[in-house]
Chains A and B, each alone.
Chain A
Amino acid sequence: MSATQAEAAVEPGSRASSRGNAAWLRNPDSRFWQTVRAVGMLALFFTVWGLAVRISHSDLFPTPGNVLRGIIELAQKGLLFKYIVASLFRVTWGFTLAVLIGVPVGLVLGWYSRLFQAFNPILQILRPISPIAWIPVAILWFGVSDAAPIFLIFLASVFPITVSAIAAVQNMQPVYLRAAQNFGLSRGELFRRVIFRASLPQIVTGIRIALGVAWLVVVAAEMIAVNSGLGYLIIDARNAGKRYDLVVAGMVMIGFIGLILDFLVRQLEKFDEVRWGYARR
């Protein structure tokens, strides 16, 4: 009893920290174990992948090591950065256009029910058409240029954004509207200060979904009609010498950049302007 007290008196800091260690080691939901689970499963995935390739004696399908060397090769040639920038450039344009058009159109259609009645059938017929199905049309209209994939990305992302903006306005709590009416807001102020602000959380969710779809589509769009970008890399590596290490390298890069894009849009959900709209955590 007195011995432990003496220990505690001599080294209180180390005692406290060793007790702390034990706590997060024992707690299965600590940050440490969460990381172990995620990293451990990734490591297992790559190991099984490598083993599977080796056991099957596949000549074409690469091991994780081959893919890593492929990525390094692309980086050394300067192609990796160039292709990533090319893909992001197209996504940025198509997606920005979709936001600039989808949000205002959605707000207006959500607010004016007669316009909604008129336009909703067109919207609902266009919406389920895969952007991939538009590829021949895009080539016809825009030729082999950046405009074709940008158009396809725009098509892919404008519908989720518009539809989420429409739903956001239609589901707005009537009490906000009545409060706004009470304060005598003009039509413009009503849109800017109340309808837009009340819809923002749902619009941000729509934007997040749309960016995911846009990134899916850029790859498909680049497989035709252009000669740069990660989608082009995949097709080109396949056609020019069956370089499947580069094919999978392209796939891995697409995955990582998609992850980063989603992480970035998710940051939008942390702003006070929209945080109220998500489930209490």
Chain B
Amino acid sequence: MNKELFAAISIRNISMRFPGKPPSEHIDVLENVTASVAHGEFVCLVGPSGCGKSTLLNIVAGFLDATSGKVLVEGEPVRGPDRRRIFVFQENGVFPWLNVRENVGFGLRMQKETERDRIIAHYIDMVGLRGFEDAYPRELSGGMRQRVEIARALAANPDIIYMDEPFGALDFLTRLKMRTDLVRIWQSEKKTILFVTHDIEEAIQLADRVLVMSPRPAMIQEVIDVALPRPRDLDSPGYLEKRDRIFRVMGMSLRVGEAAAA
């Protein structure tokens, strides 16, 4: 509708202060953060651990109220969570009392049954879980549970997907595979994705643009246009150059860039 006029997400002068026990010991987490995400864009938010990137994502998604500033989605201020913008949680938010099929169909209760079954099957297929429809989350590996959550988000047909370190708890190889699959899904579904990670490699492998945040109180320190063709070659000079640039940006304030990348 207003797709030409407004950015998908517009973050304007967001500041966040958590009150301390004596009020003087408050913690400033975010300071005047401004950024925007275009329609269909894949943007990664990287920064050192504890810098407030998850807090920012929670504010953008409407789970937290900022101390000042505002977030606009499609030009409208965010007032709370919305089914048009689905959040994929770091700690895995699939419902353990529902099987894979029921989890993926959780946001689809408005649809007719035949249509719902079609959508569920489509997205279970897309995330590579065919044959596991009747399995319960406790019977799946961590990677498969994250796939269920991604399928549940996609099935609800949101405009935007927010992802908060969704692969953080997975092992190295599973993480690589999940990234490849996520890019493939993103290319076919054309959703806007805002993805938080502390993993610089992950950000460069996934994103169109990387927003690098500073330590607390966090600001957007640098915006890096990745602009590498997909599928991305992790050995190409272009890839390594972008990666090293983020290392340097984060290293300036962090000194141990390697730690943040590990």
Contacts and interface: CB of A to CB of B under 8 A. Distances in A.
B97 A273 contact: yes
Interface stretch (B78-86, B114-122, B248-256): B78-86
Contact of A276 (B106, B136, B156): B136
Interface string A144-170: 000000000000000000000000000
Contacts of B63: 178, 181
- Main secondary structure on chain A at its contact with chain B? helix
Interface string A249-281: 000000000000000000000001111110010
Given A178-B93, A179-B87, A184-B82, 9 more contacts: A175-B91, A181-B80, A182-B81, A197-B97, A198-B95, A272-B97, A273-B97, A275-B138, A276-B138
Given A184-B82, A276-B136, A280-B138, A179 B95 contact: yes
A181 B107 CA distance: 11
Contacts of A277: 96
Interface of B: 61, 63, 80-83, 85-87, 89, 91-93, 95-99, 106-107, 136-138, 156
Interface in A20-60: none
B97 A179 contact: no
Q: How many of chain A's residues touch chain B, expressed as a range? A: 20 to 34
13 contacts: A173-B91, A175-B92, A178-B63, A178-B81, A179-B89, A182-B83, A184-B81, A194-B95, A198-B97, A276-B97, A276-B136, A277-B96, A280-B138
Interface in A180-220: 181-184, 194, 197-198, 200
A89 interface: no
A141 interface: no
A81 interface: no
Nearest to B99: A272
Given A175-B93, A176-B93, A184-B83, A276 B107 contact: no
Contacts of A184: 81-83
Contacts of B156: 183
A247 B93 CA distance: 55
- Main secondary structure on chain B at its contact with chain A? loop
Contacts of A274: 97
B81 A272 contact: no
Contact of A183 (B80, B107, B138): B107
B83 to A, nearest CB: 4
Interface string A62-102: 00000000000000000000000000000000000000000
Contacts of B80: 181
Contacts, number: 55
Nearest to B107: A183
A183 B136 contact: no
Closest 3 CB pairs of A and B: A276-B96, A179-B93, A184-B83
Contacts of B107: 183
A175 B89 contact: yes
A178 B93 CA distance: 8
A178 B82 CA distance: 11
Nearest to A178: B63
Contacts of A273: 97
A173, A183, A197, A273: most-surrounded residue (chain B CB, <10 A): A183
Given A182-B83, A184-B82, A276 B137 contact: yes
A182 B95 contact: no
Contacts of B93: 175-176, 178-179
Contact of A272 (B82, B91, B106, B136): B136
A117 B251 CA distance: 50
B40 to A, nearest CB: 21
Nearest to B98: A197
A276 B91 CA distance: 16
Nearest to B90: A175
Contacts of A183: 83, 86, 106-107, 156
A277 B95 CA distance: 11
Contacts of A276: 96-97, 136-138
Contacts of A197: 95, 97-98
Contacts of B138: 275-276, 280
Contacts of B82: 182, 184
A182 B96 contact: no
A173, A184, A273: most-surrounded residue (chain B CB, <10 A): A184
Contacts of A182: 61, 81-83, 85-87
Nearest to A183: B107
Contacts of B87: 178-179, 182
A200 B106 contact: no
A175, A194, A280: most-surrounded residue (chain B CB, <10 A): A175
Interface in A91-147: none
